[in-house]
Amino acid sequence: MNAHRDSKIASPQPEVLVAEGLQKSYGARHALQGLTFTLKAGRILGFLGPNGAGKTTSIRILTTMMEPESGHFTVDGISSDHPEQIRRRIGVLPENLGFPRQMTGIEYLTYFGQLYGRSPANAREFALALLEDVGMQQRGKSLIGSYSHGMKQRIGIARALINDPVVVFLDEPTLGLDPRGQQELLELIQRIARERGTGVILCSHLLSEIENICDDVVILSSGQIVARGTVAEVVDRVQRNIVLGNALRIQVPTDFVAKATQALKAAIPNVTKVTPIGEMEGWLRVELIESANGNSEKSHLINNTILGALIRAKIPILSFEVEGGRLQDVFLHLTEEAIQ
Amino acid sequence: MKNNPSTKALPAWWLVFTRELSDLWVGGKALILILIYTIVLAVMVYVYSFNTELSLIPPKESVYEMLKNAMAVSMFVGLVIGADTLSGERERNTFESLLLTPVSRRQIILGKFLAAISIWPVAYAIAIPFMNVLSQGDEILVPAILWGLGTGTISVFAFTALGMLVSFWSSSNKVSYFASLGVYVLLLVPAELPGTSSGAAGQFLQWINPMASVNHFLSKHLVNYEPFSLFWSWLIAPTVLAIVSLGLLFFYAGPGLRLEPGKTSWPWAKKLMRTMGLGGMAVLILMLSLSTSPVRAQGQTSDLQISIDLDATVVKTGDTVEYNTVVTNNSAVASPPLIVAMNVVNLDAKGDTVDPEDWAPKRTQYIESLAAGESVSLHWIINTILEGNYMVYMVLIPEPADSASTSQAVATSGIHLTVNPFTRLNPGGVLPYAIGAPLLVIVIMYFVNRRRNQHIDAGAS
């Protein structure tokens, strides 16, 4: 996945969204303090931040629903001074999108197609094609009121694509979906970016999905960008600056949790604490003493020792990772201050 | 398939209008509101025909009452639908999708406004058969339909635009409905309460109230046959309200339409509104003080004389009694302006006066002046509403020269009027309309829903 991302960085993709120094305040509170980033065609940018970090304000500004106090942005080369023209080039799936319950999927998409200047026949034809793209062709003639949440999200994405946009904003598209629904929707989003060459901005609290499908990431905290780049770059950059190597995460079968805890505490002198992780079944967090910090060679040896101890105790190891190597860790580290 | 705006594309306002129209009429609240409205009119016409007292009201007044109520309900419906247009979309989270399109905000407003007023022509068309049955062939029907259409259109436009403005500013649908309802009640109550138009201040308040002023105009012009030239000014308030509301809607709210409720971006607007409010209060206080100024007595003898050509009369309820009075100036000089007033008191109720509005289209007449020795004859009509024994007498009073003087009244002898019971409206003739109209709306609702269901799959998710 990283190799794929790196190869894409080198390709000459045009910048479809350029934001420079966007600022916005609500009274004395600075919601956005100089937001600057770019998005290239065909790439998916994960937009992250804790609640109140300025994500919604950013999206509202970039989708012309709100004006910034200063700074400007361009979409497909069109300046933010021309909001109507920008709206022709963007597609948006807002977080809490409401739907008219008494319209069918086809009617809904045809109506919006016409609002974007298509003739009735052309809008209907395009609506049918989009319904097929999002896997909703069988339910196009049903009332939207009868759709499940996942179906509504798909129709919402189809609506966001009705004008063949160059940039699509998706705000929490998988919220409330079951795991299968989430997976299918993420695959759809990837297809939109890859096959249509559309730049996608994906806001989500599910860091694993950002990590899996996004090429680039922007992390916001208190209205400021605290990290920006490809997912790999951000993880690597932050990993160097945060205290690493003093915690591991190991997953074992749930029946072996107690035995594993006992084996680790008894066999490894560097282990200070072994605790189950929240509600994640079979996961253990293993904290190590500080001596290994900054010395990767020693860290790796300790990892080997830990694994060896578990193997000798005949405990099956389902998963093993160093804490700090995931986007989730980076996010928590970078936004910790703002949350506190 | 690229997004090239097609030359065959329909105008955005038309798309929004047809979409809103469909939302409103197919499975929406329009048909339900129309059904309620039809039932209200049906109950009204039923009560008019079956209630002993109301059935005796002359056709002119019945038609006027029906027209007045049809307009009042239509204004209310327009206000309610207008109040939901923007804040309702915000609340249902469907507004953002619309605002994210490249359609101009003013076109969105236009489409929504046209859809919101679509109920008025339907509501008015439903009222016409009811007015027809109440008119019983009276010549009032055609002018009532035409004047109702004109004044009703102005009023419904004004109130719908007002509702949309409230919705534009409201943070939630509840606030929007509440504020709109408040405005409606504030205007309706003074228009309906008896006695609110007495005195100069009362008249002024009626004049500036768009609902009351339209009612006053229709009452005078249709029921009392007063010429348009005398009462046209009573149409100023609704016209001004319509122009101001529509102007604000299309030239202020339209361009400023956004996801969040509208905010006043004109700092001077608040000052202007405050000044206007204070100015209005000052005018009101001034009018009230003028209308209640104490008058000092100043006796005055008179050579004026008034006579009546009516003798004791026996009629049935609903009959019309017509008579003349002759006013003569027996003095050697021209008289001041004179006022002749009709008085009808109920002998069965210890001399209580009857409700002037119901009993006579014209209760007073004005004479500019009478030259020495000159006489003038005045014609009067009494509609006998209730059975009983009454006394009719006329009073002639010269207009005082100034606010500090009084004048001496002269009266005719009292004429005994006996009114016997009689029912005019035929309940059987009214019943088909009272029952048929709501049934027809229900049948239409059924077919609209059936036709809609034929075009959709009923698949469950």
Q: Which of A120, A142, A164 sits opposite B459 (nearest CB)?
A: A142
> Are the beta carbons of A63 and B100 separated by less than 8 Å?
yes
Most confident residue range from B145-149, B229-233, B292-296, B361-365: B145-149
> Are the beta carbons of A142 and B457 separated by less than 8 Å?
yes
Q: Which has more confidence, B267 or B347?
A: B347
**Measured CA distances, A142 to A106, A125, B70 (Å):** 8, 17, 38
A interface test, pick of B13, B19, B84, B97 with most A CB neighbours within 10 Å: B97
Q: Which has more confidence, A276 or A4?
A: A276
- Averaged pLDDT, A3-9: 40
> Are the beta carbons of B96 and A65 separated by less than 8 Å?
yes
CATH 3.40.630.10 fits A243-323, yes or no: no
Confidence of residue B149 (pLDDT cuts 50, 70, 90): very high
* Whether the domain at A2-99+147-238 and the domain at A243-323 fall into the same CATH topology: no
Instruction: Assess whether pLDDT exceeds 80 at residue B278.
Output: no
C-alpha B432/C-alpha A129 separation (Å) is 53
Confidence of residue B142 (pLDDT cuts 50, 70, 90): very high
C-alpha A214/C-alpha A211 separation (Å) is 6
Instruction: Assess whether pLDDT exceeds 60 at residue A9.
Output: no
Place of tokens 């029952």: B435
- 3-class DSSP assignment, residue A158: helix
User: Chain B residues contacting A, CB < 8 Å?
Assistant: 1-10, 12, 15-16, 19, 23, 26-28, 92-94, 96-104, 258-259, 455-461
Q: Of the candidates B72, B74, B73, B98, which has an alpha carbon nearest to the alpha carbon of residue B85?
A: B98
Q: How far is A226 from chain B (nearest CA, A)?
A: 29
> Are the beta carbons of B259 and A88 separated by less than 8 Å?
no
**Measured CA distances, B366 to A248, B301, B369, B379 (Å):** 103, 20, 9, 12
Q: Which structural domains are found in chain B, ordered by start?
A: 12-262 (no CATH), 304-420 (2.60.40.10)
Q: Of the candidates B312, B321, B319, B313, which has an alpha carbon nearest to the alpha carbon of residue B386?
A: B319
- Averaged pLDDT, A145-152: 90
Q: Which of B16, B98, B461 sits opposite A151 (nearest CB)?
A: B461
Q: Of the candidates B26, B156, B141, which has an alpha carbon nearest to the alpha carbon of residue B79?
A: B156
Instruction: Assess whether pLDDT exceeds 70 at residue B244.
Output: yes
Picking from A319-328, B341-350, B361-370, which range would have the lowest pLDDT averaged per residue? A319-328
**For residue A41, what pLDDT is reported?**
93
Q: Which has more confidence, B263 or A142?
A: A142
pLDDT tens digits, residue range A52-87? 888 889 999 999 999 999 999 999 999 999 999 999
In chain B, the percentage of residues whose pLDDT exceeds 90 is: 30
C-alpha B85/C-alpha B431 separation (Å) is 37
What count of CB pairs under 8 Å joins A to B?
109
C-alpha A54/C-alpha A33 separation (Å) is 9
Q: Which has more confidence, A91 or A283?
A: A91
Taken in order B123, B125, B129, B131, the sign of the CA dihedral is positive
End-to-end CA distance of chain A: 34
The amino acid at residue B447 is F
> Are the beta carbons of B101 and A112 separated by less than 8 Å?
yes
Q: How far is A288 from chain B (nearest CA, A)?
A: 50
Check if the beta carbon of residue B133 is closer than 8 Å to that of residue B429: yes
**For residue B461, what pLDDT is reported?**
43
Taken in order B163, B167, B169, B172, the sign of the CA dihedral is positive
- Residue B126: both structure tokens together: 């439903």
> Are the beta carbons of B97 and A159 separated by less than 8 Å?
yes
**For residue A53, what pLDDT is reported?**
84
Instruction: Assess whether pLDDT exceeds 50 at residue B299.
Output: no
- Residue B339: both structure tokens together: 């006022």
Instruction: Assess whether pLDDT exceeds 70 at residue A159.
Output: yes
Question: Phi and psi for A321 in degrees, rounded to 5?
Answer: -150, 150
Instruction: Assess whether pLDDT exceeds 60 at residue B235.
Output: yes
C-alpha B84/C-alpha B87 separation (Å) is 6
**For residue B353, what pLDDT is reported?**
80
Confidence of residue B223 (pLDDT cuts 50, 70, 90): confident
**For residue B19, what pLDDT is reported?**
93
CB-count exposure of residue B4 (10 Å: 0-12, 13-18, 19+):
exposed
**For residue B316, what pLDDT is reported?**
76
> Are the beta carbons of B96 and A119 separated by less than 8 Å?
no
Confidence of residue B305 (pLDDT cuts 50, 70, 90): confident
C-alpha A224/C-alpha A334 separation (Å) is 11
Cβ-Cβ contacts under 8 Å for B385 (sequence gap 6 or more): B53, B56, B57, B317, B318, B354, B355, B358, B359
- Averaged pLDDT, A87-107: 91
Q: Where are the beta strands (DSSP E) in A49-100?
A: 70-75, 78-79, 90-93
Instruction: Assess whether pLDDT exceeds 80 at residue B135.
Output: yes
Q: In the sheet that A44-48 helps form, which strands lie side by side, from edge to edge?
A: A90-93, A167-171, A199-203, A44-48, A216-221, A224-230
Picking from A16-20, A43-47, B156-160, B230-234, which range would have the lowest pLDDT averaged per residue? B230-234
Picking from A304-313, B172-181, B313-322, which range would have the lowest pLDDT averaged per residue? B313-322
Q: Which has more confidence, B287 or B143?
A: B143
Q: Of the candidates B23, B257, B40, which has an alpha carbon nearest to the alpha carbon of residue B118?
A: B23
Confidence of residue B28 (pLDDT cuts 50, 70, 90): confident
User: Chain A residues contacting B, CB < 8 Å?
Assistant: 60, 63-66, 84-85, 87-88, 90, 92, 94, 96-100, 102, 104, 111-112, 114-122, 125-126, 129, 138-139, 141-143, 146-148, 151, 159, 163-164
CB atoms within 10 A of CB B260: 10
At A22, which helix (H) or strand (E)? strand A15-26
**For residue B81, what pLDDT is reported?**
92
pLDDT tens digits, residue range B88-116? 999 888 999 999 999 999 999 999 999 99
Q: How far is A9 from chain B (nearest CA, A)?
A: 27
**For residue B6, what pLDDT is reported?**
54
Closest-CA residue of A relative to B93 is A98
**For residue B200, what pLDDT is reported?**
74
Instruction: Assess whether pLDDT exceeds 70 at residue B301.
Output: no
Whole-complex ipTM: 0.76
Q: Where are the beta strands (DSSP E) in B116-249?
A: none
- For strands A199-203 and A167-171, give the pairing: parallel
Chain A positions touching B457 (Cβ under 8 A) are 104, 139, 141-142
**For residue B291, what pLDDT is reported?**
43
Confidence of residue B195 (pLDDT cuts 50, 70, 90): low
Instruction: Assess whether pLDDT exceeds 70 at residue B53.
Output: no
**For residue A10, what pLDDT is reported?**
46
Closest-CA residue of B relative to A95 is B93
**For residue B335, what pLDDT is reported?**
87
pLDDT tens digits, residue range A165-203? 999 999 988 887 788 888 888 888 999 899 889 999 999
**Rounded mean pLDDT of chain B?**
82
- Averaged pLDDT, B2-13: 70
Q: Which of B6, B27, B103 sits opposite A118 (nearest CB)?
A: B6
* Beta bridge pairs of residue B305: B328
**For residue B282, what pLDDT is reported?**
54
Instruction: Assess whether pLDDT exceeds 60 at residue B271.
Output: no
Chain A positions touching B4 (Cβ under 8 A) are 117
Cβ-Cβ contacts under 8 Å for A40 (sequence gap 6 or more): A13, A14, A15, A16, A199
> Are the beta carbons of A96 and B93 separated by less than 8 Å?
yes
**For residue A282, what pLDDT is reported?**
82
pLDDT tens digits, residue range A258-300? 888 888 887 777 666 777 776 567 888 887 765 444 454 555 6
Q: What fold is seen in the domain A2-99+147-238?
A: Rossmann fold (3.40.50)
Confidence of residue A8 (pLDDT cuts 50, 70, 90): very low
- Averaged pLDDT, B300-319: 76
* Beta bridge pairs of residue B313: B417
- Residue A219: both structure tokens together: 């992390």
C-alpha B377/C-alpha A240 separation (Å) is 110
Domain boundaries, chain A: 2-99+147-238, 243-323
> Are the beta carbons of A92 and B459 separated by less than 8 Å?
no
Check if the beta carbon of residue B438 is closer than 8 Å to that of residue B42: yes
Instruction: Assess whether pLDDT exceeds 60 at residue B285.
Output: no
CB atoms within 10 A of CB B267: 8
Taken in order B81, B84, B85, B88, the sign of the CA dihedral is negative
- Helix, strand counts (H, E) of chain A: 12, 14
B interface test, pick of A114, A146, A153, A175 with most B CB neighbours within 10 Å: A114
Please report which residue ranges of chain A form alpha helices under DSSP H: 2-10, 55-62, 83-89, 105-115, 120-133, 149-160, 179-196, 207-213, 231-241, 257-267, 296-312, 327-339
Q: Which has more confidence, B180 or B196?
A: B180
- Averaged pLDDT, A35-58: 90
C-alpha B358/C-alpha B65 separation (Å) is 11
